[in-house]
Structure 1
Amino acid sequence: MTEEKIEQGTCLRCGRVATLHRGLCIDCFRKSSEIFTIPDYIDLTVCRSCGAQLKGKHWEYGGELKDIIEDEIHSSLQELSGVEVSLEDIEMRRGGEGLYHVEVRAVALFPGGGVIPTRKALTVRVKSSLCPRCSRIHGSYYEAIIQVRGSGKDLLRQEEAVDRVLERVDQIARGDPMTFVTKLVKVRGGWDIYVGRNQSARRIAQEMHRLYGGDYKVSSKLVGRREGRELKRFTYLVRLPPWRRGDYLLKDGTPHRIEGFQGRRVKLKNIETRREESVEISSVETLAHYPSKEVEMEATVLYTSEREIVIMDPVSFAEVNIKKPPGWKRRESVKVVRVDGGIYLL
């Protein structure tokens, strides 16, 4: 808005003494000039599936139709020099196919404090189309499959892993609309997730492998050629290990807590010695497995001696003596692991 000098004087039209704008008082100025202008028609191209808007040669995602129309009105509005226009409300009503009749209510703010409410009407013509993203989704397009496999005994963890994949797809799609899930298929032993962007599928599969450990394999097949280049579809297999982080394995007669995974290796912590080690998953797959929710318990402390803590077994209610760890401080209860008849202090 161009700054204009505020003048007090006699209106050239009505003779009233007032704040003048271009020699006229506000009332006379309103009758003689348009405060702001907008086009009679605004043409938009909008995706009929997701509502994305075509701007020039590019699609913009994430806006509601009313917001898109409001943005177009704002960008096409032309204010009269020296007047600041504030849009108060935009009312839309549906006309014929692809037509919206719009009324714009605004307030014009003049130098010196003058305020004029004003209205304008226009028609928005919306052309319906399909954006590239929705066109690919409707055509069942995909560049990669993420295969989540696991133990049939732990379906909940499979579903948790699938939910995490879908969540990551949604997060990446905010910056890359070509990342999407075409379909989600339940298969024997797990799930297949069809993803529109190979780079995103690879990234997510690698993240899942780092998080859960287990087996990770990549394969591809040739599906065609484009401009002399080979077109391939990729498959990323993420096979979940048979246990969760925090579960226990009975190794060498002592419970070992699963601290984490790294590829095909698992990190274990001996509950008695507190020593940690990393071993191949395949070398411990046959060991007895105890889910943490089944073996971790609270036990009441009955009394302590110089070297031992005496607790009540939370299952048999018998007294159990446990070696007091260095620096242990007296408390009413302790967390223990009860595995294969033995009780170990956490």
Structure 2
Amino acid sequence: MTTIKDRFCPKCGKPSDADGLCAACRVADTPWAVCDTRVTSTHCPGCGATKQVNTWTDTNRERADLAPDLARSAVHFHPDVKRRSIAVSVRDLSANRSRAYLTITGILYGQPVEKECMVELAWHREQCDRCNRITGSYYEGIVQVRAEERDISPFEMQKAAAIATQIEDSLQQGGERLSFISDMTENRDGLDITVGSQHIGLLIVQGITAQLGGRYTTHPKLVGEKNGRQLFRITYLVRLPRYQRHDVVKLSRTYAEVEQADSRSVRVFDLSEGRNRAIKEEEIVRLVGNARNAEPALVAYVAHGMLGLLEPATGATIEIQERPWMAVRAGENVQVLRDGGTLVVVR
């Protein structure tokens, strides 16, 4: 049976709500918060990434934003402390050192507690794994973007570069720091993209062929061995199709606009019949141009299934047959390409 005598603190003699020491004496005997005297932050001077143990992490935070969290990491609480709070004030002493002043509060065994401590913050610079590879010209593959039997167009060049950059950004945000693009060069043959991992190289060629068509092949080359494992560099060769999207081509009896091309067939929009169909590449008589480079022509009149167009260069009226897919009125513009003396209306 518990008696009144059992409810007194054996240390101070004051009443205790529980067996043993009272709350105040328990608090006095408990190291409820301990501060490390020094904390080091390692960051890369090239990209700003921070290092935790042996792992690098990308961050956009400046030193002033990192310092309070770094200082708080120096505080170690007793597990019984509730409602923890740490107020931080930081003063920079030099380029490599700062001093943090901490006010720490909480509730321990129902008693409010507070203490102050000072922590030295050391800012250490070290080149990260990615920057080290880039500056050392390390790479695991090259993506070569070329076109079949023609020069690659400026649009395709820009589109391929944008696809590669978007894939790099996605992988970097997902934590794949070593999946980077170290160089991207335009040349007379096409576009060369130097990549830091085989994974990003494969994703880039898959992304380019998915959006621009064509096919790709891989050509590995043994460059050495590490820890008993063979090391390869891979050349990814992308061959864009001979005809690109929005190319306008002359067929035997009509004109058509290319929608998709691969090694077997070409899907086109027939500009006479206004329908999609597949044709063989051999059916194409010649390339007229690309609809992206079309120029506007004013529709002077629409009458009896015919359109009167003002020739953009001379202002002369040229009459062409209206097509089922056209929905134009007098006073509006249509987009045209020239095929010799013929104006070809495109979508």
Moved more, 205-214 or 73-82: 73-82
Q: Cα distance 1:121–1:243, how it changes in 2: closer, same or farther (>3 A)?
A: farther
Tell me the equivalent position of 1:232.
232
Tell me the equivalent position of 2:73.
75
CA contact (8 A) 1:85 1:106 kept: no
**Which secondary structure does the structure 1 equivalent of 2:73 belong to?**
helix
* 1:86-139 superposed Cα distances (whole Å, 9 cap, x missing partner): 55664341436xx3223346686889xxx9999753211233333322222222
Alignment of 1:157 with 2:152, yes or no, is: no
Q: What is the distance in 1 between the residues matched to 2:135 and 2:337?
A: 54
- Give the AA of the match of 2:321: I
Tell me the equivalent position of 1:102.
99
Tell me the equivalent position of 1:5.
none
Cα deviation, residue 54, structure 1: 2.7
- Give the AA of the match of 1:237: L
Give the gaps of 5 or more residues in structure 1: 1-21, 24-32
Q: What is the distance in 1 between the residues matched to 2:35 and 2:89?
A: 13
Q: Cα distance 1:313–1:72, how it changes in 2: closer, same or farther (>3 A)?
A: same
Tell me the equivalent position of 2:298.
299
Q: Cα distance 1:284–1:256, how it changes in 2: closer, same or farther (>3 A)?
A: same
Q: Cα distance 1:268–1:345, how it changes in 2: closer, same or farther (>3 A)?
A: closer
Tell me the equivalent position of 1:287.
286
TM-score, scaled relative to structure 2: 0.72
Alignment of 1:49 with 2:46, yes or no, is: yes
TM-score, scaled relative to structure 1: 0.72
Cα deviation, residue 203, structure 1: 1.4
CA contact (8 A) 1:169 1:179 kept: yes
Q: What is the distance in 2 between the residues matched to 1:183 and 1:158?
A: 15
Alignment of 1:125 with 2:122, yes or no, is: yes
Alignment of 1:272 with 2:269, yes or no, is: no
Q: What is the distance in 2 between the residues matched to 1:326 and 1:186?
A: 39
Alignment of 1:140-179 (within 5 A): 140-150=137-147, 151-152=150-151, 154-175=153-174, 176-179=176-179
CA contact (8 A) 1:322 1:345 kept: no
Percent identity (aligned): 21
Cα RMSD over matched residues?
4.1
CA contact (8 A) 1:91 1:102 kept: yes
- Give the AA of the match of 1:311: G
Q: Cα distance 1:78–1:339, how it changes in 2: closer, same or farther (>3 A)?
A: same
CA contact (8 A) 2:67 2:90 kept: no
Tell me the equivalent position of 2:133.
136
Counterpart pick for 1:61 among 45, 58, 63: 58
Give the gaps of 5 or more residues in structure 2: 1-22, 25-29
Q: Cα distance 1:184–1:333, how it changes in 2: closer, same or farther (>3 A)?
A: closer
Aligned residues: 315
Q: What is the distance in 2 between the residues matched to 1:236 and 1:196?
A: 13
- Give the AA of the match of 2:198: N
Q: What is the distance in 2 between the residues matched to 1:231 and 1:336?
A: 53
CA contact (8 A) 1:249 1:258 kept: yes
Q: What is the distance in 1 between the residues matched to 2:255 and 2:93?
A: 69
Cα deviation, residue 321, structure 1: 5.3
- Give the AA of the match of 2:191: W
* 1:198-239 superposed Cα distances (whole Å, 9 cap, x missing partner): 011011111101211234222111112234433211111123
Tell me the equivalent position of 2:319.
320
Cα deviation, residue 285, structure 1: 7.4
Q: What is the distance in 1 between the residues matched to 2:284 and 2:231?
A: 39
